[in-house]
Chains A and B, each alone.
Chain A
């Protein structure tokens, strides 16, 4: 199957300053999160994919189409929501979105229909005849989303879509992005500083640092990678015998207080085995937490060790102290 975005030794230089350095990889997610600190090259990568900056070396492909040789075809399949305020002054929103649809190749009659639909979809149906310059920030963001989707692109590139939005508008924006993602008609590339936004919308992430790829992973698989780390809270029964039995199964463990046990599951051990042993020794398992990586963990690890070519998969198992997903404190190999 053709990847959504393929990067092939993609490099971009502004003057003498390298901005993107030999990016390699394939992105296939339904919604791809583009993360990185300021100046990491996120927006430059988006602009390069859109053909705003020519690559100095290498290339990239969107749905198999080269961004340098098939630039127009690429832009036909892409919708772009820029980060900054962008609109055409003294034009009503519906005319603005219609113009954008026509520029994408939709005939005038259909473009008007699509503009109305897109504006209703994003929730600006009632305000569609007002000039865009009179809109609030949140409405302008929604108008930008409408113009990005009006021509029904296969890939929608969203650059900081929730910037400056109040909580209800942010929720609305996130819900729209998820609706588009779940509809399956378009893939999404979401660039954001807000990890929460990416966590809520994306199933794959690309973390950039200093123009390199610091991490490129499937978010769900990455979260599952730490399933063998478990924290138990027990009550009653023969606790020491229970712990001994766990040790006999081949699991490493560490005691934390009188009721908590941290353990690393053996490959062959199932959760059901723990409940069986607990039953045998009259121990009640009151809480069982999987230690799962949050996006923040993944991001921070990528930032700590952001050399090109080293993915998060390698980082997840390197034994660094990592924060618990539910905020219950740290857990490390050293404590076990």
Chain B
């Protein structure tokens, strides 16, 4: 139909496949996202650490450069599981910042403008809608976590040789899994908050609060009760345990402290108390429970119309 005719015509052309329809949502959302200069700047800053890590890897394998810079190879960080775990941790922090900036308006804006009926009256299910919104976060966070992580790994492998690659091939799975678990947790939490709160600023504040307030409480519990169980309510500490577990670096005993125990047997005595991190399965369980609650919240809130009792 030509524009000048101004008539209603049915569409009889081709359609794109039903399974990929949800990808329309992230395409539009990402276009809107990168209109923000602040976000674009932070997104670029996210690649500073990967750049530093790449330089470190390069220096490890370049004697000339080390000589030029007058650095001994032993002074550099070793390129091992710990190196890549630190990489995931640092990039995880950047991923969190990106999530706080990008995710809050994703669903809340649609809710406040009553746009959900417009999405859901089309051949798009509620799951696909959430998946579409989640893809925005997963795509962005993947670009700053496991994708540069794996590139760095292969860069190291290319310089260190096949022997190193075969010895450390398990790290591919560790880099990918540890990043993806963090990405999934962040996306689900952010989308759940976004579906509960209609104002962007409040949603961002709530997201920040969820990560920092329990952490502070956890530390208070740890100090008061001379334990490490408080880590279970801190997402940072829980994820740290999981990351360490995936990179084979997890240790339950993280130290001892000397103090008085409030017990009739040791009353008044100063003893060494062994501090045990919560077991790994408990950390996994906490993350799984949080994800399940987020999915439940999304299934309750992402509806074309809410039926009010």
Could you give, for residues 75-89 of chain A, a 1 whenever the CB lies within 8 Å of some chain B CB and a 0 otherwise?
110111010111111
**B119 interface residue (CB < 8 Å to A):** yes
Q: Are B113 and A103 in contact (CB under 8 A)?
A: no
What is the 8 Å Cβ interface bit string for chain B, positions 269-309, against chain A (1 contact, 0 not)?
00000000000000000000000000000000001110101
CB distance from A146 to the nearest CB of B (A): 11
B120 touches A52 (CB 8 A): yes
Contact present for A90 and B32 (CB under 8 Å)? yes
A290 at the interface (CB under 8 A from B): no
Q: Do A120 and B3 touch (CB < 8 A)?
A: yes
Which of A109-117, A162-170, A239-247, A318-326 forms contacts with chain B? A109-117
Chain B contact surface mostly: loop
Is A121 interfacial (CB 8 A cutoff)? yes
Cβ-based interface call for A285 (8 A): no
B100-124 contacts to A, CB under 8 A, are 109-110, 112-115, 117-124
List of B residues within 8 angstroms of A154 by Cβ: 10
Q: Which of A23-31, A177-185, A199-207, A249-257 contacts B (4 or more CB under 8 A)?
A: A177-185
- Across the interface, which residues of A come within 8 angstroms of B7, CB to CB? 121, 179, 183
Using A52-B120, A103-B21, A183-B8 as known contacts, say yes or no to A87 and B304 having CB atoms under 8 A apart.
Answer: no
Is A298 an interface residue, CB under 8 A from the partner? no
Question: Does any Cβ of B come within 8 Å of A47's Cβ?
Answer: yes
Q: How far is the CA of A86 from the CA of B1 in the complex (A)?
A: 27
Per-position 1/0 for A55-99, Cβ under 8 A of B: 000000000000000001101101110101111111100010001
Residues of chain A lying within 8 A (CB to CB) of residue B32: 90-91
The distance from the CB of A11 to the nearest CB of chain B, in whole angstroms, is 15
Of the candidate stretches B12-20, B48-56, B152-160, B231-239, the one touching chain A is: B12-20
- Chain B nearest CB from A125 CB (Å) reads 8
A86 touches B113 (CB 8 A): yes
Q: Are A72 and B117 in contact (CB under 8 A)?
A: no
- Residue B24 at the A interface, CB < 8 A? yes
Measured CB to CB, the closest approach of chain B to A126, in angstroms, equals 12
On whether the beta carbons of B122 and A75 are closer than 8 Å, the reply is yes
Measured CB to CB, the closest approach of chain A to B162, in angstroms, equals: 44
Q: In this complex, what residue of B is CB-closest to A132?
A: B113
How far apart sit A99 and B31, CA to CA, in the bound complex (Å)? Answer: 12
CA distance A8 to B88 in the complex (A): 57
CB distance from A242 to the nearest CB of B (A): 53
Instruction: Give the nearest-CB partner of B3 in chain A.
Output: A120
Whether, in the assembled complex, B266 has its beta carbon less than 8 Å from a beta carbon of chain A, the answer is no
Taken together as a complex, chains A and B put the C-alpha atoms of A285 and B122 apart, in Å, by 58
In the complex, the answer to whether A76 meets B123 with C-beta atoms within 8 Å is: yes
Closest residue of A by beta carbon distance from B117: A82
Nearest CB of B to A219, in Å: 22
Nearest-CB residue, chain B, relative to A78: B121
A129 interfacial by beta-carbon distance below 8 Å: no
Nearest A residue (CB) for B13: A110
Q: How far is the CA of A15 from the CA of B309 in the complex (A)?
A: 8
Using C-beta atoms within 8 Å of the partner chain, give the interface range for chain A. Answer: 35 or more
Interface membership of A45, Cβ < 8 A? no
Of B11, B12, B123, the contact of A75 (CB 8 Å cutoff): B123
Q: Which residues does chain B contribute within 8 Å of A50, judged by CB atoms?
A: 117, 120-121, 304
> A222–B40 Cα gap in the complex (Å)?
64
Q: Shortest beta-carbon distance, A48 to chain B, in Å?
A: 11
**A47 CB → nearest B CB, Å:** 6
If A104-B122, A183-B8 touch, whether A89 touches B113 (CB-CB below 8 Å) is: yes
User: Is A18 interfacial (CB-CB < 8 Å)?
Assistant: no
Query: Do B3 and A80 have beta carbons less than 8 Å apart?
Result: no
A105 at the interface (CB under 8 A from B): yes
**A87 near B113: Cβ-Cβ < 8 Å:** yes
Contacts of A76 in B (CB 8 A): 122-123
In the assembled complex, which residues on chain B have CB atoms less than 8 Å from the CB atom of A104? Answer: 122-123
Does A152 contact B121, Cβ atoms closer than 8 Å?
no
Give the distance to chain A from B108, nearest Cβ to Cβ, in Å.
Answer: 10
B10 CB to closest chain A CB (Å) equals: 4
Cα–Cα, bound, A72→B42 (Å)? 39
Residues on A with C-beta less than 8 A from B114 are 82, 84-87
Chain A residues whose C-beta falls within 8 Å of the C-beta of B121 in the assembled complex: 50, 52, 75, 78-80, 82
Cα of A183 to Cα of B283 in the assembled complex, Å: 63
Q: Note all chain A residues with C-beta closer than 8 A to B118.
A: 80, 82, 86-88, 100, 147
A179, B5: Cα distance in complex, Å: 13
Residues of B within 8 A of A183 (CB): 7-8
Residues of B near A89 (CB, < 8 A) are: 109, 112-113, 115
CA distance A154 to B108 in the complex (A): 32
Q: How far is the CB of B135 from chain A (nearest CB, A)?
A: 14
Nearest-neighbor residue (CB-CB) of A157 within chain B: B121
Please determine whether A106 and B123 come into contact, CB atoms closer than 8 angstroms.
no
Check if B168 is an interface residue, CB within 8 A of chain A.
no
Q: A72-B125, A79-B121, A107-B14 are in contact. List 7 more A-B contacts (CB 8 A).
A: A15-B307, A50-B304, A82-B117, A91-B28, A105-B21, A121-B7, A151-B11
Enumerate 28 A-B pairs (CB-CB under 8 Å) in ascending A order. Answer: A47-B305, A52-B305, A72-B18, A75-B121, A75-B122, A76-B122, A86-B114, A87-B114, A89-B113, A91-B32, A99-B24, A100-B122, A103-B123, A103-B124, A105-B18, A106-B13, A107-B15, A117-B3, A120-B3, A120-B6, A121-B7, A121-B8, A152-B8, A152-B10, A152-B11, A154-B10, A179-B8, A185-B8
Q: Which 5 A-B pairs have the closest CB atoms?
A: A152-B11, A105-B15, A152-B10, A80-B121, A52-B304
B residues engaging A (CB < 8 A)?
1, 3, 6-16, 18, 21, 24-25, 28, 32, 109-110, 112-115, 117-125, 303-305, 307, 309
Where the two chains meet, the residues of A that have a C-beta atom closer than 8 Å to any C-beta of B are 14-15, 47, 50-53, 72-73, 75-76, 78-80, 82, 84-91, 95, 99-100, 102-107, 110, 114, 116-117, 120-121, 125, 133, 147, 149, 151-154, 179-180, 183, 185-186
